[in-house]
Amino acid sequence: MRLGEAVRTGALAGLGGAAAVTTANLIEQQLFLPRNEPFEIEPIEVAKTEARNAGHPLSTGGQWAAGTAAHLAYSALWGAIYGVAQRRLRLPHLLHGVVFGEIIWALNYPRWGILPQRGILPPAGERSRTRALIPLGTHAVFGLATAALFQLLSRHADRG
């Protein structure tokens, strides 16, 4: 597979991963959080916090639109990175997917991660066990879905 194909295929797989991680996040919160705890949708929190910090607070609809757009772009970017890495490393897709998803978690949720550093969410270690574990599970889902879709799309492209 050529580099451009790996980037395109990975980006498409990442978009599918975005749908999977969003669905998994809502299901896990529904199953594991107490009924009185509000759901957390991280891309919406990112859009809301970053816009407020920039001095341009968004309406609720604006938060959803910006958060969704950012999430899709971020997922496509990570999918493209997956495609390039998989093209080079040729690891077993399921293993690579889980590891890949947890690397993304590690870049975002611990004390040194993007979300705590930007003031969007507290570090995982300062959250309830459930709130800390849900993103671990959902990022494994993102990695697995992205890996499975990349493999499927790659096979389809090879048949051409």
Give the pLDDT confidence of 136-154 residue by residue, as tens digits: 999 999 999 999 999 999 9
| Separation of first and last alpha carbons in the chain | 12
* Positions of the chain with pLDDT under 50: none
Residue 86: name the closest of 100, 72, 74, 102 by CA: 100
Q: Mention every residue, 6+ apart, whose C-beta is less than 8 A from residue 57.
A: 48, 51
The predicted pLDDT at position 155 comes to: 87
The predicted pLDDT at position 38 comes to: 85
What does the block give as tokens for 59?
A: 């309406």
What does the block give as tokens for 125?
A: 């270690």
| CB of 117 closer than 8 Å to CB of 124 | no
Residue 29: name the closest of 128, 104, 130 by CA: 130
The predicted pLDDT at position 158 comes to: 65
Alpha-helix residue ranges (DSSP H) falling in 3-92: 3-32, 42-53, 60-89
Q: What is the identity of the amino acid at 60?
A: T
Return the ∠ at Cα 20 (arms to 68 and 103), rounded to 5°. Answer: 90
Q: What is the pTM of this model?
A: 0.92
Secondary structure (3-state) at 159: helix
d(CA 138, CA 124): 14
d(CA 12, CA 92): 19
